[in-house]
A and B are shown apart, each in its own frame.
Chain A
Amino acid sequence: MSREEHIREFATAALAEGRVDYFIGWQQGYNSSEVIPVFIRDAAEVEQLVWNPLCHHNLVTFLKRNMPDPPDAKIGVCVKGCDSRTLVALLQEELVDKDKLYVVGVPCDGIVDRRKLEKEFAAEMVAIEFPERGKVVVTTRLGETQEFAQDAVLLDVCRLCRYPNPVYADDTAGPLETEPDRKHTQPDWTDIADYENFSDDDKQAVLEQIYSTCIRCFACINVCPVCYCWDRCVNRSRQPELVSQKVGAKENLLFQMIHMMHVAGRCPSCGACDRACPVEIPLYLLHRKMNKEIYDMFGFEPGTSLDEKPVFQTFRIEDEFGD
């Protein structure tokens, strides 16, 4: 059975048995080059559920405060490895009720970077197919097709992924992916190596330049599963006003800094923020940097185990702090 078939089977059972009011998974978007979240309410609709390397959405965001509709719904949800870590973060903080959840874990061998593919063509992509594992075939509106090796067009966060299997699930959609040897290997931080070598002034300059195109749409904030303050967000506070509502490079940098500081220690670099940004700001850069700092200081990788306490809720004498 393919993972897709597993997901459909689990969803059918959960809905038919009334264990969930709706089941959240992925389905094809307006054409096969897009995948979108789907909310299945009826076992008869499970055929809409898909699983393929375009399933990039972190569906845990639909579990956070104010998202469930109705608010007390029992919800089934699919999670990849990275997604499951954000769910664990929410469970550690008791922000989601475990008893209202049915979690289907989906082992993942990497999500394809649709934007990387998009830049290969002048014409619009209208189909992205996966004829066999490891192969990606793109068709454009003008009829051109091109094949890519999946490994060559993965999301950056997937290239560096250490948790391909969900760390928390009630049921798992098929056999596990090979786990990297986390005990004996360090996380790979080469994606931020260039940034780390900048002087402080250059870092400030490059960040202001990156965030100069930010339009404060809050897509990154709202799509992040561990960013859930909504109307009480510091970035929106009026009394007192802490961040200017003016949209400019300096204000935007402060806005992003605040978001980064508040998800620090809970962010597994799932990259959902990056993918949500309509103007393609590389948002995950700052979060990756923060995650490295936390790893270096505390040896902590967020959301890997329900038994662990969140890093900023514990203190050990051995904790080391940077210079």
Chain B
Amino acid sequence: MTIKYLQADRLPAFLEYLAEDARVVAPFKRYGVVQFEPWSSGKDVELDVLLAKQSPKEYIFLQTQTYLKFGYRMEDPETSAPDGPGSDDAASEGEGAAKKAEPDESPTVGIPHETVHVEPILEAQTQVIFGCRPCDARGFVQTDNVFGGYGGFYYDPLYNARREVTTILAVTCREPRSTCFCTAIGGSPAGTEGVDALFTQVEGGFVAEALTEKGEAALAYEGLADAGAAQTDAAAAVKEEAIPKVDMPFELEGIRDNLHDNIEGQQWHHLAMRCISCGTCTYVCPNCYCFSINDQIVETEGERYRVWDNCFNPMYTEETSGHNPRAQKSNRFRNRFSHKFWYYPDKYDSLLCSGCGRCIMHCPTRIDIREVLRVMGSPAPEPEPAAAPATGEGKEA
């Protein structure tokens, strides 16, 4: 596949080129805060800060996505509803016949009545995400499994319509953070999973390697020269230097089985004590994908939309009867980590984590996933001293 070189001062022109056919999304700094935003001419991409606050997942998996619009209308009586039961023969036969149906004439014939007009909504704009990191790209591969009709599961067009028209141009991490742990879970600061073309910063510019057809198409810009040997060597050196800079804070092997064995462990309470049960970790994470579906209606016009939700929400599993299977904060806490390193891997043969460390950086009390996995992903911890709390009765946070 093609390997090109992009001079640093040609980056804006390259983005202009991409913007001719697609919306370009990249990390930008505004009031000191780096976030993925749509690019427009004149904006400088921020690549000195390693990670944008959030992953770019909101550009494929929208935070709020209306997928249905409906309106109540009065219908012309001539085209009213189908007849009631008894109009076909099958229903009246057989033993234990159902309670006798209404008279054969549908009671609605001849009377104007209300009907619903339903319209599906799905828009997907071709886009290029430039300047994300390999962990962000890997996140998409992991959410692809959930939404992608993989292995006989359901296919989600709301996600896939956008996924298929998105090109991902990731940038190698030259200076990983102390909170990164991608290498411990099969990733890399120069990882290629989910990446269409990988850009590595070298002297004077970027070495850009196409990895897929989409990547090739993106690199077809005439302002890119073929990369020379010196440049590709420099890129290889950057990658080689970056990889050992990422800590390996735990052994992946055995975590799934140990999480299973420790599911009722008391340690979950201790690890969850400083958790405030918000949704920060799930919303900044490149792979968390849980969502809710809600209806909204004003007078006769309404919509159904899906919106991010998170399993720490105290009401996440609350049932109408009032029963809440995960009323205890420690149960919700263990659910998230078990989902990422046990439940999801059992279904999809992959982890649901890319080691970006955003959850650690942004958690208001810095709950550390590495610590949780070290403790609960190890064979059963020591028995608790007598002073340990019992699993609390009744409602907890």
Q: How many residues of A contact B (CB 8 A)?
A: 52
Q: From the candidates B274, B284, B314, B360, name the one contacting A230 in the complex (CB within 8 A).
A: B314
Contact A119 B32 (CB under 8 A): yes
Contact B314 A42 (CB under 8 A): no
Contact B296 A142 (CB under 8 A): no
B264 within 8 A of A: no
- Tell me which residues across on chain A come within 8 A of B53, comparing CB atoms: 278-280
B13 within 8 A of A: no
Classify the interface of chain A: helix, strand, loop or mixed.
loop
Contact A73 B389 (CB under 8 A): yes
Residues of B178-215 at the interface with A, using a CB-CB cut-off of 8 Å, are 178-179
Bound Cα distance from A39 to B389, whole angstroms: 12
Known A37-B274, A69-B329, A141-B178; contact A247-B396, beta-carbon cutoff 8 A: no
- Tell me which residues across on chain A come within 8 A of B308, comparing CB atoms: 215-216, 247
A122 within 8 A of B: yes
Known A217-B283, A236-B315; contact A223-B296, beta-carbon cutoff 8 A: no
Contact A36 B365 (CB under 8 A): yes
Contact A30 B360 (CB under 8 A): yes
Contact B294 A245 (CB under 8 A): yes
B366 within 8 A of A: yes
A160 within 8 A of B: no
B368 within 8 A of A: yes
Known A141-B178, A215-B283; contact A230-B366, beta-carbon cutoff 8 A: no
Known A230-B314, A231-B314, A247-B307; contact A69-B269, beta-carbon cutoff 8 A: yes
A276 within 8 A of B: yes
- Tell me which residues across on chain A come within 8 A of B32, comparing CB atoms: 115, 119, 280
A218 within 8 A of B: yes
B172 within 8 A of A: no
Residues of A56-107 at the interface with B, using a CB-CB cut-off of 8 Å, are 57, 61-62, 66-67, 69-71, 73
Bound Cα distance from A30 to B296, whole angstroms: 43
List chain A positions with a Cβ less than 8 A from chain B: 21-22, 29-31, 34, 36-39, 41-42, 57, 61-62, 66-67, 69-71, 73, 115, 119, 122-124, 126, 141-142, 213, 215-219, 221-223, 230-231, 236, 241, 244-248, 275-276, 278-280
Closest 8 CB pairs of A and B: A276-B364, A66-B397, A278-B362, A219-B278, A222-B276, A70-B392, A217-B279, A39-B273
Could you list 15 examples of A-B contacts with CB < 8 Å? A36-B274, A39-B273, A41-B388, A42-B385, A67-B329, A71-B392, A71-B396, A115-B32, A119-B32, A122-B48, A215-B283, A217-B283, A219-B276, A246-B64, A278-B53
